[in-house]
Amino acid sequence: MCRRVNFFPLLAALLVGLMGACGHAPEKPVNLRLSQAIELEQKGQQAYRQGHAAAAAGHFEAALRVDMSIENHDGIVADRLNLAQALDASGDVGGARRQLDALLSDSPLSLSPEQIARAKAALGLMALKQGELADAQRLIDEAQQACAKTCPSAAAILNINARIALERNNPSAALASAGAALPLLAEGSHLGERANSLRIIGLARLALGEAVAALAPLLQALALDRELGLPERIADDLLQLGRTHAATGNTGNAEYFYRRALTVAEASGNAALAQRVREANKP
Amino acid sequence: MKLFSEQDIEARALRLRVRLFLLTAALIGVVTLAAVAVRHGVFTQTIALSFFAESAHEISKGMAVKVVGFKIGKVEEISIEPDNRIKVEIAVNHNYARLIPRDSVAHVMKEGLIGASIVEILPGEDKKRIVVDNDVLRFERGSGLADLAKKLTDQVIPILHDVKKITASINDPQGDIRQAVHHIGEATVAMRASSEELQKLLHQSNVKVGALGGQVSAILDKTDQNMALVQKSLTTLNGTLPGMLQKIDGALPGMLQKIDGTLENARRISQDSAEQLPGLLRDGKAVAGDTRDIVAGAKKAWPISSLLDPAPTGAMPLDSYVPSR
């Protein structure tokens, strides 16, 4: 005897599923100013990723004004952090520092430890770029105190710490710090920060006189930077590979990487970087 | 037992009808969703092209992209570059990319005089080099109604002014043309007097040199005849010229009035255009705004929302990069 299949419940379930899929939750009341701030912030991030730091700073500044006008505290924090990063990238270090100082001194915002760590690390990075190593170390130590190992900026803070150690001629400490950053960066994500770790590891190995061991991390950093399409860092990686090959005595390979670095630097229109490559290639 | 059996049959028929109804409804739902998805180009493979314009005027997201009047894509993104140029990114149906050589030119123009703005791609000459993903096209802005009206006004008004000046000069008794005609009249009178003088002289010569022979006399006779013809022509001209001048005098005021009227009409057309154009542009902007809202709404709706990457918000991740020394 054949058992009859009852399709009714199946069809009913299908219809209910379709209706559920087509419908959606009732809309929240529309906050047009908030939408405008979010749109400006997204435009800023897009411009920053495309390498237009000055344009990005303009968008973040506009977003900040809108967020301040509606007292959107989360937005204000994000806008000031983003604005500082864009201003720093466009060469306005003073403006970037003012944004971060304003953020850290703005008590009503009551920043989370992660946000404090992020702001202090950004200030430390700027101090490092300016050659103010003592200030940079102090700020990075404060950032590390505020940031637990799971904090989103933990790996970047370790990398900045490694970079400070490298500048202080302490490659062993740099190797340890950048090596500690790598496991915090999930495979397949944070590609830029992974490349930063690998580049520092390569530079630390080179400084320790282990030029052959420096090649692998530098080549990995180059592959990641090429994947991200960052001309300045690609040229930087190629330059370091040229120096590393020169240190191993392989002048042919060294010239090959210097040539590639020069081509990338010139094509990206970065005259300062191109000059650095030419100086490195001088006999 | 029979009663139960009849009820069972009825119930079975009812179940069958209900199932049919539900099945039909489900099918209609699925077909509608599929049609909406196809209509919005969810399954259409596209390639991304872009061009740079000096202004975003009349360019908006979602605007149709056409080749020879046939829609092949739409404007996906408009962004401002650091050098203040406008980058317009367009998505073109992959199947129609072969119609667009790399030397093609993108134009922003209106469909008809006051129609919607579109991006029209004029295919280039080099048919062997077809665009690929992320290619950049050259851009030229087409003429809008306002530009056309302005160009027409700019070209017609100087011509009408010149015509007015010429006719005023013709009408002016001290003007060059009237003076020239007057001088022609005076010259005609002088020529008539000269002719009479010459005839007298010839007559006297005829008397004095009559002895020179028949040949000379014949030549002089012929000359005399020719001079008579000249005199006749001059007389005719003298009789016609005053009439012509009178006619011109009579017609000139009317012509000047007509030219004045034409200039006034041109001015009114320009004024009307100037008054109506901002309204038309406002309406166009409103329509573009509505379209943008609709597209933004559609982006949030399922299933389109699931196909789009969420835009990043919040603070960007800290980047520890420091250029190597």
Q: What does residue A51 show for φ and ψ, rounded to 5 degrees?
A: 90, 10
More confident residue, B131 or B234: B131
Among A83, A147, A189, A193, most B C-beta atoms within 10 A, so best to mutate, is A193
Q: How far apart are CA B166 and CA B172, in angstroms?
A: 10
Rg (CA), chain A: 24
Mean pLDDT of B276-299: 65
Residue B318 with chain A: CB contacts under 8 Å:
85, 118, 121-122, 125, 152-153, 156-157
- Inside any domain, residue A152: no
- Inside any domain, residue A79: no
What is the crossing angle of helices A133-146 and A113-129, to 10°? 160
With CA atoms as reference, report the closest residue to B60 among B315, B296, B324, B272.
B296
- Inside any domain, residue A66: no
Percent of chain A residues topping a pLDDT of 90: 68
- Inside any domain, residue A280: yes
Mean pLDDT of B170-197: 74
Using the beta-carbon criterion (under 8 Å), do B19 and A11 form an inter-chain contact? yes
Q: Tokens 């004095």 correspond to what residue? A: B208
Q: Which residues span the domain enclosing B230?
A: 148-283
Paired tokens of B8: 């069972």
Q: What does residue B45 show for φ and ψ, rounded to 5 degrees?
A: -85, 130
Mean pLDDT, rounded, of chain A: 88
pLDDT tens across B1-15, in order?
Answer: 555 667 788 888 898
Answer yes or no: are the C-beta atoms of A78 and A44 closer than 8 Å: no
Q: What does residue B291 show for φ and ψ, rounded to 5 degrees?
A: -60, -40
- Inside any domain, residue B25: no
Strands B64-67 and B117-122: parallel
A81 closest CB neighbour out of B25, B315, B324: B315
Using the beta-carbon criterion (under 8 Å), do B320 and A159 form an inter-chain contact? yes
A152 closest CB neighbour out of B82, B317, B323: B317
Q: How far apart are CA B110 and CA B144, in angstroms?
A: 7
pLDDT tens across A211-265, in order?
Answer: 999 999 999 999 999 999 999 999 999 999 999 999 999 999 999 999 999 999 9
Mean pLDDT of A25-52: 82
On whether both B160 and B138 belong to a single domain, the answer is no
Interface ipTM above 0.90: no
Measured CA angle at A79 (ends A77, A80), to 5 deg:
65
Mean pLDDT of A154-179: 95
- Inside any domain, residue B322: no
On whether both B60 and B111 belong to a single domain, the answer is yes
**DSSP helix, strand, coil percent of chain A (3-state; round to 5):** 80, 0, 20
Give the Cβ contact number of residue B26 at 10 Å. 17
More confident residue, B61 or B271: B61
Using the beta-carbon criterion (under 8 Å), do B318 and A129 form an inter-chain contact? no
Among A160, A218, A224, A237, most B C-beta atoms within 10 A, so best to mutate, is A160
Using the beta-carbon criterion (under 8 Å), do A128 and B26 form an inter-chain contact? no
Which pairs count as long-range contacts for A221-226, CB under 8 Å and 24+ apart, including other chains? A221/A195, A221/A196, A224/A191, A224/A192, A224/A194, A224/A195, A224/A198, A225/A192, A225/A195
On whether both B273 and B156 belong to a single domain, the answer is yes
pLDDT bin (cut points 50, 70, 90) of residue A142 is: very high
Using the beta-carbon criterion (under 8 Å), do B314 and A24 form an inter-chain contact? no
Minimal-distance CA residue of chain B relative to A60:
B315
- Inside any domain, residue A251: yes
Residue B19 with chain A: CB contacts under 8 Å:
7-8, 11
Nearest CA of chain B to the CA of A239: how many Å? 9
Using the beta-carbon criterion (under 8 Å), do A192 and B321 form an inter-chain contact? yes
On whether both B117 and B73 belong to a single domain, the answer is yes
On whether both B115 and B217 belong to a single domain, the answer is no
With CA atoms as reference, report the closest residue to A162 among B324, B159, B65.
B324
pLDDT bin (cut points 50, 70, 90) of residue A62 is: very high
Nearest CA of chain A to the CA of B164: how many Å? 55
Minimal-distance CA residue of chain A relative to B31:
A18
B26 closest CB neighbour out of A15, A115, A273: A15
Measured CA angle at A42 (ends A38, A43), to 5 deg:
115
Residues linked to residue B166 through DSSP beta bridges, in sequence order: none
Asked if the model's pLDDT at residue B230 lies above 90, the reply is no
Using the beta-carbon criterion (under 8 Å), do B320 and A163 form an inter-chain contact? yes
Nearest CA of chain B to the CA of A118: how many Å? 7
Asked if the model's pLDDT at residue B237 lies above 90, the reply is no
By three-state DSSP, how is residue B224 classified?
A: helix
On whether both B56 and B164 belong to a single domain, the answer is no
- Inside any domain, residue A214: no
Asked if the model's pLDDT at residue B223 lies above 90, the reply is no
More confident residue, A159 or B208: A159
Strands B46-53 and B135-141: parallel
Rg (CA), chain B: 43
Res B210: pLDDT: 56
Res B193: pLDDT: 75
Residue A196 with chain B: CB contacts under 8 Å:
319-321
Residue A93 with chain B: CB contacts under 8 Å:
none
- Inside any domain, residue B1: no
Res A1: pLDDT: 41
Q: How many residues does chain B have?
A: 325
Res B11: pLDDT: 87
Is the bond preceding B303 in cis, omega lying within 30 degrees of 0? yes
Mean pLDDT of A164-184: 94
Nearest CA of chain A to the CA of B56: how many Å? 16
- Inside any domain, residue B237: yes
Minimal-distance CA residue of chain A relative to B316:
A82
Residue B31 with chain A: CB contacts under 8 Å:
none
Residues linked to residue B138 through DSSP beta bridges, in sequence order: B105
Residues linked to residue B49 through DSSP beta bridges, in sequence order: B90, B135
A15 closest CB neighbour out of B25, B33, B317: B25
Residue B317 with chain A: CB contacts under 8 Å:
152-153, 156, 190, 192-193
Minimal-distance CA residue of chain B relative to A8:
B19
On whether both B86 and B212 belong to a single domain, the answer is no
pLDDT bin (cut points 50, 70, 90) of residue B126 is: confident
Percent of chain B residues topping a pLDDT of 90: 11
B323 closest CB neighbour out of A52, A115, A232: A232
Using the beta-carbon criterion (under 8 Å), do A82 and B316 form an inter-chain contact? yes
Paired tokens of A275: 């000059």
Using the beta-carbon criterion (under 8 Å), do B324 and A21 form an inter-chain contact? no
A42 closest CB neighbour out of B25, B33, B313: B313
Residue B313 with chain A: CB contacts under 8 Å:
38, 41-42, 78
Res B217: pLDDT: 58
On whether both B129 and B153 belong to a single domain, the answer is no
Please report the number of interchain residue pairs, chain A to chain B, with beta-carbon separation below 8 angstroms. 100
Using the beta-carbon criterion (under 8 Å), do B26 and A85 form an inter-chain contact? no
Res A15: pLDDT: 67
B315 closest CB neighbour out of A18, A118, A199: A118
* Among A131-145, B54-68, B174-188, the least confident range: B174-188
* Among A188-197, A217-226, B152-161, B300-309, the least confident range: B300-309
Answer yes or no: are the C-beta atoms of A86 and A51 closer than 8 Å: no
Residue B320 with chain A: CB contacts under 8 Å:
121, 125, 156-157, 159-160, 163, 193, 196
Asked if the model's pLDDT at residue B138 lies above 50, the reply is yes
- Inside any domain, residue A71: no
pLDDT bin (cut points 50, 70, 90) of residue B278 is: low
Q: How far apart are CA A210 and CA A213, in angstroms?
A: 5
Nearest CA of chain B to the CA of A55: how many Å? 6
Which pairs count as long-range contacts for A24-27, CB under 8 Å and 24+ apart, including other chains? A24/B301, A24/B302
Q: How many residues does chain A have?
A: 283
pLDDT tens across A82-134, in order?
Answer: 999 999 999 999 999 999 999 998 766 788 889 999 999 999 999 999 999 99
Mean pLDDT of B116-145: 83
- Inside any domain, residue A45: no
- Inside any domain, residue B259: yes
Asked if the model's pLDDT at residue A151 lies above 90, the reply is no
- Inside any domain, residue B297: no
Question: Among A163-177, B105-119, B208-222, which range has the highest average pLDDT?
Answer: A163-177
CA dihedral A46, A50, A54, A56 (to 10 degrees): 10
Q: How many domains does chain B have?
A: 2
Asked if the model's pLDDT at residue A2 lies above 50, the reply is no
- Residue that is last in its domain, among B142, B176, B211: B142
Give the helix/strand (H/E) hosting A282.
Answer: none
Q: Tokens 């590639």 correspond to what residue? A: A260
Percent of chain A residues topping a pLDDT of 70: 87
Residue A240 with chain B: CB contacts under 8 Å:
324
Give the helix/strand (H/E) hosting B185.
Answer: helix B176-208
Q: How far apart are CA A194 and CA A216, in angstroms?
A: 14
Using the beta-carbon criterion (under 8 Å), do B29 and A239 form an inter-chain contact? no
Q: How many domains does chain A have?
A: 1
Q: Which residues span the domain enclosing A239?
A: 230-283
Which pairs count as long-range contacts for A165-168, CB under 8 Å and 24+ apart, including other chains? A166/A200, A166/A203, A166/A204, A166/A207, A167/A128, A167/A131, A167/A133, A168/A133
Q: How far apart are CA B41 and CA B62, in angstroms?
A: 12
The CA–CA distances, whole Å, from A120 to A105, A154, B59, B88, B107 equal: 12, 12, 43, 39, 50
